[in-house]
């Protein structure tokens, strides 16, 4: 069986743009992200035993890399892993147990610093369950927390396109970096960023207008917290304030420049498609 063909692909098979299946049964991936040799072999044996008892669960190890900045050493997630986590979290249920710090550089053209990077939790937002542990003593508790999240990924409500958790927080610029699990958190987010009376539109802190009212196109199925999104749904992202201005759109593995009066397509998994008057900027992976 092709490992790239997931349950979500089979659920959307035969559907047209704009359609979504009623129910999803998704694979579950439990990532362990941190420095190499963080955990002992005995701990890995316990983890492997936990995974073996759950057929729908896969354990995946990924490693951070140290980056020396002018002021400090940061432990970082490279652009390849950032892309993997961003896209996988919209096609499977993904929980991440993070050992120590792990930061993502949003614009691959930038130099690494605390200012130009964000934590893994802020990067993924509510698309995944991210838990941090400092040592092995509370690992069992954290694993149980992740298992609970796998069974209740949407929290207290069934999601739809109007829910701000559908936005890819890897691309949406916001000054208040917080999760949107609670109704109150979502209310505050909508009050700050929603464009009232304009359908499904958001205006982020960088002045980018996110228009989700356009036609559907594209065939990559995605979900948010276990709820299927319409096939081909995306945002047209452009400058949203007075006048015209070039904007930069970054997702952790690509950087795009959108010209005056141009726009670009951004999908719920954070991937970017070419629109009008835009171009990808070349970058060396960092």
Within 10 angstroms of residue 109's Cβ, the number of other Cβ atoms is 14
Q: How far is CA 139 from the centre of its chain?
A: 24
Share of the chain above pLDDT 70, in %: 96
Name the β-bridge partners of 33: 62, 98
Can you spell out the DSSP letters for 136-151? GGGHHHHHHHHHHHHH
Distances (CA, A) of 281 to 21, 210, 253, 258: 36, 21, 11, 10
Average pLDDT on 94-121 reads 94
pLDDT at 146 over 70: yes
Per-residue pLDDT at 1: 42
pLDDT of residue 156: 60
In this structure, the number of other CB atoms found within 10 A of the CB of residue 54 comes to 13
For residue 79, what pLDDT is reported? 96
Question: pTM (2 decimals)?
Answer: 0.93
């Amino acid at each position: 069986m092709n490992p790239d063909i997931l349950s979500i692909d089979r659920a959307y098979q035969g559907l047209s743009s704009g359609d979504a299946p009623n129910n999803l049964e998704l694979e579950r991936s439990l990532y362990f992200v941190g420095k190499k040799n963080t955990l002992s072999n005995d701990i890995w044996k316990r983890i492997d035993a936990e995974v073996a008892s759950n057929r729908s669960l896969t354990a995946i190890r990924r490693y951070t890399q140290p980056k020396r900045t002018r002021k400090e050493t940061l432990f970082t997630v490279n652009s390849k892993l950032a892309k993997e986590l961003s896209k996988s979290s919209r096609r499977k249920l993904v929980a991440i147990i993070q050992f120590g710090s792990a930061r993502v550089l949003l614009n691959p053209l930038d130099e690494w610093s605390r200012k130009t990077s964000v934590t893994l939790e802020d990067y993924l937002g509510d698309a995944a369950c991210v838990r941090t542990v400092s040592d092995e003593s509370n690992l069992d508790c954290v694993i149980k927390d992740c298992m609970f999240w796998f069974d209740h990924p949407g929290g207290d409500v069934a999601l739809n396109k109007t829910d701000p958790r559908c936005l890819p927080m890897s691309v949406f610029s916001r000054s208040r970096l917080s999760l949107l699990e609670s109704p109150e958190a979502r209310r505050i987010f909508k009050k700050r960023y929603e464009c009232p009376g304009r359908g499904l539109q958001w205006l982020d802190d960088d002045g980018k207008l996110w228009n989700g009212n356009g036609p559907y196109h594209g065939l990559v199925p995605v979900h948010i917290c276990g709820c299927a999104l319409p096939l081909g749904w995306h945002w047209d992202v452009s400058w949203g304030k007075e006048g015209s201005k070039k904007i930069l759109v970054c997702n952790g593995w690509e950087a795009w420049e959108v010209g005056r009066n141009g726009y670009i397509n951004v999908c719920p998994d954070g991937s970017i498609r070419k629109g009008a008057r835009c171009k990808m900027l070349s970058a060396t992976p960092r």
